[in-house]
Amino acid sequence: MKAIGFLASGEGTAAEALTDIEIDRPTPSGRDLLVRIEAISVNPVDTKVRRRTTATGGNYQILGWDAVGEVISVGEQVNTYQPGDKVWYAGDITRPGANAEYHLVDERIVGKRPGTLSNAEAAAIPLTAITAWELLFDRLGFDEVSDGERTPGPRLLIVGAAGGVGSILVQLAKQLTDATVIATASRPESQAWVTELGADHVIDHRRPFSEELSRVGLDNVTHVISLNHTDDHFDRLIEALAPQGKFALIDDPNTLLDIRKLKQKSISLHWELMFTRSMFETDDMTKQRDLLNRVAELIDEGRIRTTVGANYGAICAENLRKAHRDIECGSAIGKIVLEGFD
């Protein structure tokens, strides 16, 4: 079968290492599904793993942790899906990724894809939706509320709101919680994007957060979700947080964070990695299946929209190299997707 892989040359493997390869088609066993891949998206984690993977005896590494496809066959312990089912998922970072024609994935982290989106539109969502959902409800403890129960009180600041995770996070926070959503974006096009997705206020992260919050009529925020450059903003975010606030992040700061600075305000710190459940096969691993199914319902009800920023065409090394380079440049708005094999 066709796949795109790379041979690690050591620390700092470049996007140019991605190449078209042929490998054997895998066979499912246990709780695995064999999925024929129809569309994928590319995430910052793909580029991070590529750069950080060291040489492993000449074996090709396959990336890709967002996929939409059709179940072709199932392992003997599978009880949720059957051949012909259309599914979506983000996979398991400890296993080969989905940049291949066929892919093995544990049924417990797989959802049924929304029926109202194309394959490419759906592929933009799984990893970011899981991350955003877990940030809101598992890490920060927001409650899901109905329209009639909304009593605005929490003030949620999302740093880096125009990216993949931010684009779905803004929507989930507005649709499912009673939070006032403050998004950061610096460029006119990214400011317009997050406004369209439902942000109540948009501020510029290049300026002091306290000044920008004051500009939109707010003294502070109760919750912060920092999606990138946390070490650059750390002190200013602590200043912007109310006493007993909550601070969540997903990135890997280049410098150590001095968490002692959180003590005076009794601010709690929460780190999110959406691969934790699959990496450790936690007892609540099926929560990712449940939340993907819930997000699919929200999409089919018209409450959540796809976050596709650009479709780069067929799934091949040339297009993946371009996607990796663009993500590393930090210029992407929304998600980059690829669809089908040549």
Q: What is the distance, to the nearest Å, from the Cα of residue 267 to the centroid of all Cα atoms in its chain?
A: 25
Q: Where in the chain is the domain with CATH 3.40.50.720?
A: 129-271
pLDDT in tens, 151-199: 778 999 999 998 889 999 999 999 999 999 999 998 899 999 999 999 9
The whole-angstrom separation of Cα 272 and Cα 262 is 18
The whole-angstrom separation of Cα 266 and Cα 245 is 7
Please work out, in degrees rounded to the nearest 5, the angle formed at the alpha carbon of residue 218 by the alpha carbons of 214 and 222.
130
pLDDT in tens, 18-36: 999 999 999 999 999 999 9
The whole-angstrom separation of Cα 7 and Cα 22 is 14
Candidate CATH numbers 3.40.50.720, 2.60.40.10, 3.90.180.10, 3.20.20.70; the one for domain 2-125+276-339: 3.90.180.10
Residue 78: closest CA among 46, 30, 149, 113: 30
pLDDT in tens, 107-155: 999 999 999 999 999 999 999 999 999 999 999 999 998 776 677 789 9
Confidence at residue 55, expressed as pLDDT on a 0 to 100 scale: 66
pLDDT in tens, 298-332: 999 999 999 898 999 999 999 999 999 999 987 66
The whole-angstrom separation of Cα 244 and Cα 227 is 21
Q: CB 340: neighbour CB atoms within 10 A?
A: 15
Tell me if 81 sits within 8 A of 87, measured CB to CB: yes
CATH architecture, domain defined by 129-271: 3-Layer(aba) Sandwich (3.40)
Q: Where in the chain is the domain with CATH 3.90.180.10?
A: 2-125+276-339
pLDDT in tens, 230-274: 999 999 999 999 999 999 999 999 999 999 999 999 999 999 999
| pLDDT, mean of residues 96-106 | 98
